Amino acid sequence: MIILLAIAIGSLFAGATYLMLRRSVVKLILGLILLSHGVNLLIFTMGDGVRRGASPLVDAAGQPPPGSADPLVQALILTAIVISFGFTAFVMALAYRSNQAVGSDDLDDLSTTDRL
Amino acid sequence: MVFHLFIPIITPLIGAALAVLFNRQRIVARAITLISVLINLGYGLWLMSVAPASGPLVAQASGWLAPFGISLVADGMSALMVMLAALLMLTTILYSFASVDEQREQHFYYPLLLLLLLGVSGAFLTGDLFNLYVWFEVLLVASFGLITLGGSRDQLEGGLKYLVLNLLGSTAFLFGCGLMYGFAGTLNMAHIAERMATLANPGLQTVLAGIFLFAFGSKAAIVPLFFWLPTSYHTPPVAVTAIFSGLMTKVGVYALYRTFGLMFQNELATYGPWLTLLAGLTMVIGVLGAVAQMNVRRILSFHIISQIGYSVMGLGLASAAGLAAGLVFTAHVMIVKMALFFIGGAAEQIYGTGDLKKMGGLARREPLLALFWFLGILSLAGIPPLSGFIGKLILLQVGVSQQAYLITAVAAGTSILTFFSMLKIWNEVFWKKSYDDVNRLPRVSFGLLAPGAALVILSVALGLLAGPLVDYNTIAGQQAFDRNVYITAVCGADGCEAVYRAALK
């Protein structure tokens, strides 16, 4: 399972990097979305009970109940998903407005603020 | 347990909500904003008078036991930063009253400022790594709103780049949080600090420290992660640029101080030389970038980067004295940089442009503005008796005493370049003859002049009465560098691990 997840995370990061290095604004945003998914999956693998020992839910004997997962990573991912969802909505609206203002999807055309 | 630590977080939150409700009544919205910030400022001052003497104050959210719940911790460094954030926000709001147009005010300009203050205060006070991430996002989303509010082409272009590069930094931070949880099994900073000292696998600790250096370095705009800053900072209204210069990059610096001073203290021996190298490069590249520019706010933006180098140098020296010196400098530069943005922005407002070639002759027309500008650039360059001299002197003294001669020389040399580059604005805007008739220009209003002037006067005062500031920051630096004090304050005398074990049984 860990191997599969590791491959999935690696692919998401690779795809995100590739997309973010393209010149199109839309692909840049898609890259950001993929990147946040990759990080969410990575956090997910961090709570598997193998890496860090017991989950904080324990029975009377101090042992985690069998088959229990670490709830904290899921809470972290949920928070991260909500935040990245909000930012994605914002960046899409912003990209739409800047596309209206500039009339181009090419990042090389977004350079008026860099000129001397 | 001191639940009043929530005041600087709750006040701007309620203030923002009320300011949205009373958005149509301009006077009421302004009054609410002003009152919220004044409460934060008063509380910050009180916290500064308490925190160094009594040790870190701690509050546990919802009364959860320390390593399990979210802790709020206010030590000397946090208290100073909370106070400065409120003070700078106060001047920004006063400046906004005089400079921001009605359109922006109607579109929730003041609530966004308060939300920015909320995020910044939360980031300074939290003692939980993931909670720090959440506060970073809170302040980022408020800053996204502020930088694009108005929607001109420049703002949209600059805002898009600002947004994407900052999101990338945040994602790296989240990545680090995830790995940290997998590695240490906790997110409470005190608990992490404790486990870092005992956990084997030093290689992984080095990698984690590197990830956090990348994440916070991109927020603090150190070389080579600063590109979002000069491309976007000159596009929004002057008041927004000013508050960004005062707070945004400094939150990154604070986070670097906190993570490396507390959690990765063992790694500072490894990273110290690299941090000083990055600091030197940041100083030099920032100031050289400024030399090439011909726009008031773009020159000042590059100087933000250059000054961040000094703050990082304090961390790179890897000692309590280094952190203390870095804190003195950071406090000074937050104040003076904002003053320069206010005054330069006032000049920009008079001419209707920030292009140096189209400005000139302002010294004769507005002698007061010119006087405060000149005092400000003297302070930034580090001429005695202004606060910049104290800040740089202490930093250089620590550098020499730790035999870090190269970075000390670079820091001293950069001061000269800073002064040269600031003199360019002085010559072009204030000193040279104007091609147009200066008498036809609008006069600067009191509201545009006063905030910058007040901050310059504060800088003079801090230079003349540097004793209390230095004493305070010496204690704050020691607190920030002493893991045991922090752990004891958060989890009790036995440490977090003991509480954790006891709770599991």
pLDDT of residue B354: 87
Q: Which residue has the tokens 């890897």?
A: B318
pLDDT of residue B182: 86
Q: Which residue has the tokens 């980022």?
A: B140
Q: What is the pTM of this model?
A: 0.95
- A66-73 contacts: CB < 8 A, separation 24 or more? A72/A47, A72/B181, A72/B187, A73/A43, A73/A44, A73/A46, A73/A47, A73/B178, A73/B181
Residue B258 to residues A57, B193, B212, B315: CA-CA distances in angstroms? Answer: 30, 11, 11, 10
pLDDT band at B503 (very low <50, low <70, confident <90, very high): confident
Checking if the pLDDT of A64 tops 50, the result is yes
Residue B413: count of CB within 10 angstroms of its CB: 14
Q: Is B305 left (phi over 0), alpha (psi -120 to 50) or beta?
A: alpha
Checking if the pLDDT of A60 tops 80, the result is no
Are the beta carbons of B158 and A97 separated by less than 8 Å?
no
The gap between the terminal CA atoms of chain A, to the nearest Å, is 53
- Residue B164 forms contact with A (CB below 8 Å): yes
State the amino acid at position B278 in one-letter form: L
- Residue B137 forms contact with A (CB below 8 Å): yes
- C-alpha B481/C-alpha B500 separation (Å) is 24
- C-alpha B246/C-alpha A69 separation (Å) is 43
Who among B161, B167, B179 is closest to A32 (CB)? B167
- C-alpha B162/C-alpha B184 separation (Å) is 32
pLDDT of residue A48: 60
The answer to whether the bond into B385 is cis (omega within 30° of 0) is yes
Percent of chain A's residues with pLDDT above 90 = 55
Average pLDDT over residues B403-416: 94
pLDDT band at A107 (very low <50, low <70, confident <90, very high): confident
Percent of chain B's residues with pLDDT above 70 = 99
Q: Are B216 and B127 in contact (CB under 8 A)?
A: no
Are the beta carbons of A91 and B160 separated by less than 8 Å?
yes
ipTM here: 0.92
The whole-chain average pLDDT of chain B stands at 92
* A114 in any annotated domain: no
* A64 in any annotated domain: no
Boundaries of domain holding A84: 2-53+69-105
Checking if the pLDDT of B260 tops 50, the result is yes
- Residue B167 forms contact with A (CB below 8 Å): yes
pLDDT of residue B501: 82
CA quadruple B453, B455, B461, B466: dihedral, nearest 10: -160
- C-alpha B162/C-alpha B175 separation (Å) is 20
| DSSP character string of A47-105 | TSSSSS---S---TTS-PPTT---HHHHHHHHHHHHHHHHHHHHHHHHHHHHHHHH---
Residue of A2, A58, A113, A116 to mutate, interface with B, max B Cβ within 10 Å: A113
- C-alpha B242/C-alpha B236 separation (Å) is 10
* A58 in any annotated domain: no
Checking if the pLDDT of B464 tops 60, the result is yes
CB-defined contacts A:B, below 8 A: 110
Are the beta carbons of A62 and B293 separated by less than 8 Å?
no
Checking if the pLDDT of A47 tops 80, the result is no
**How many structural domains does chain A have?**
1
- C-alpha B313/C-alpha B470 separation (Å) is 17
Checking if the pLDDT of A54 tops 60, the result is no
- C-alpha B415/C-alpha B52 separation (Å) is 31
Are the beta carbons of B154 and A113 separated by less than 8 Å?
yes
Checking if the pLDDT of B341 tops 70, the result is yes
Phi and psi of B441, rounded to 5°?
-70, 150
| Closest residue of chain A to B130, computed from CA coordinates | A76
| DSSP character string of B216-227 | HHHHHT-TTS-T
Checking if the pLDDT of A50 tops 50, the result is no
